[in-house]
Amino acid sequence: MSGELRDTLKKRLDENYAAFIESLQGKTIPELIAMAPEITAAQQLHEELLDACDDDDMEFLLQFENPLEVVCGYWESEITGYDHRGEMGHTLWRIREDHQDKFEQQETKPFGGDEIALDPVMDFSGREITAHFEIGFDVGRRFQVYPNVDDTCGLYARYDPMSQGFRAELCIEDGYDGRKRWVTVLLLPSEQEMVVGLMEEACQKDMGRSLRDTWIDRHPAISRTNTHQKKNGRNQHER
């Protein structure tokens, strides 16, 4: 019985699909683009629906003149009506796995000054000076960090003017709900020098003073402590 049902349903689905394809004739390109989810749903169902049906399903669908159209309306909302970020994230992970070795073997090319833009308002409140840079280069190629398509990504440079220590992080902000994740990245020496140079230039322009002096103005106690520790260390060494 199931073989007869299967053959009957297959024939009707084939007829429905042929009629659907014929209805697309004469559509303009914008119209076809707008119908892309419907076309995808019809194609998937024509190829896979029969194998998903048991005898009861086939008997039920054969009550409809156009079972493909009936199921297509539901299936289209199923494949387009919810968030696909999880699947997209898995796809991107697979792409990274397939291509990361090739990219890592390429020589790292430093980004240039024309590929970053410094926010002139820097944060001097902590032990490090923090500066934010807008990014105009491919962080995936440069750092092997792969944000999602709609995510925003900024570079934060943190510079210690006393020890001249430097570190950098990417702040990746989810384009949907604003969640942030921080990724520590290593800048090449030339990139570090360029970034600190841009910070120094902006500070001189806005404050009329160097990064170090501007930071010391805000942290006189820390500055005196560091100087005292260095002095004691030098004296102990000399003894």
Domain extents in the chain? 2-80, 113-238
Model's pTM, two decimal places? 0.52
Structure tokens at 58: 């086939």
**Contact between residue 130 and residue 123 where contact means Cβ atoms under 8 Å apart:** yes
Closest C-alpha among 205, 192, 113 to residue 157: 192
pLDDT in tens, 202-213: 999 999 999 999
pLDDT in tens, 112-139: 999 999 999 999 999 999 999 999 998 9
In this prediction, residue 238 carries a pLDDT of 36
**Contact between residue 183 and residue 144 where contact means Cβ atoms under 8 Å apart:** no
